[in-house]
Amino acid sequence: MKLSVIICCYNEKATIEEVISKTQAVDLGSGWEREIIVVDNCSTDGTREILQTIEDPEIRIFYHKQNMGKGMSIRTGIDAMTGDYMIIQDADFEYDPQDHIRFCAKVEETHAAALFGSRVLGGDVKYEYAHAYLGVRVLTTVTNILFGGHLTDVATATKMVRRDVVQSLNLTTTDFNLDFELPDKILLSGHDILEIPISYNPRTYAEGKKIKTSDGIKALLIMLRDRLGLTAVLKEDVKNKKNDIPTNEIAKS
């Protein structure tokens, strides 16, 4: 099988090279091959210049012409993927690429349509901010109530989904809310989401953490939109339709 690792980055000059290197160093196990899809969301800190020096047949790099949000970067990766499964890998050190080994082993065992990494399973819970922990608990509970899930950590960044499933979901969000639209629509499509524990080392806002409390409020609106079948709860659903977004430039493929 083939794994497509989607790495989205925006102003991650300090970490992007090492995250890519650590991802490539992971031995996924017998029977697995990998492609790495890096999507730069119009970085201005030198990240893009670093990516432009990379020459590696395992790595495909896409550059957005303007900043369109993390969700749009993930969607770019989903459209470009050629693997049987995709997995989202953040471009900082909060999530460890070594966990990809256990993800691949689990989908081999279960043939799961979707497998999420939980930061609370296993009992080793790490959060820098109490409001972040409580917010995730609320959003996870709401997701389970509205969509019939059994999740412990809906906001995890490390999400692995089978290609035929993820490419059929008609994802529309462009920002952090894709983290919530994705499980909403997986569950609505009748697929279960399995979870495994993962390692997590949260960073602070000073270290570059970008998600805010307001993103949690938007996430709730996305859930209501998806549950009620509404098409324009958020303004972005009207103005950010994919056909209206500039074509991405492909640097290497």
pLDDT in single tens digits along all 253 residues of the chain: 999 999 999 999 999 999 999 999 999 999 999 999 999 999 999 999 999 999 999 999 999 999 999 999 999 999 999 999 999 999 998 999 999 999 999 999 999 999 999 998 875 655 544 556 788 889 999 999 999 999 999 999 999 999 999 999 999 999 889 999 999 999 999 999 999 999 988 755 454 445 666 777 888 999 999 999 855 444 444 344 444 444 444 544 3
User: What single string gives the DSSP state of each residue in 199-215?
Assistant: ------TTTT----HHH
- What Å distances lie between residue 167 and 18, 76, 77, 218, CA to CA? 29, 11, 11, 23
Domain boundaries, the chain: 2-245
CA 36 to chain centre: 13
Return d(Cα 126, Cα 96) in angstroms, integer: 14
Q: Which of 190, 194, 183 is nearest to 223 (CA)?
A: 183
Q: Which fold has domain 2-245?
A: Spore Coat Polysaccharide Biosynthesis Protein SpsA; Chain A (3.90.550)
Q: What is the pTM of this model?
A: 0.86
Give the model confidence (pLDDT) of 109-134 as tens digits: 999 999 999 998 875 655 544 556 78
Nearest CA among 139, 112, 136, 135 for reference residue 196: 112
Length of the chain: 253
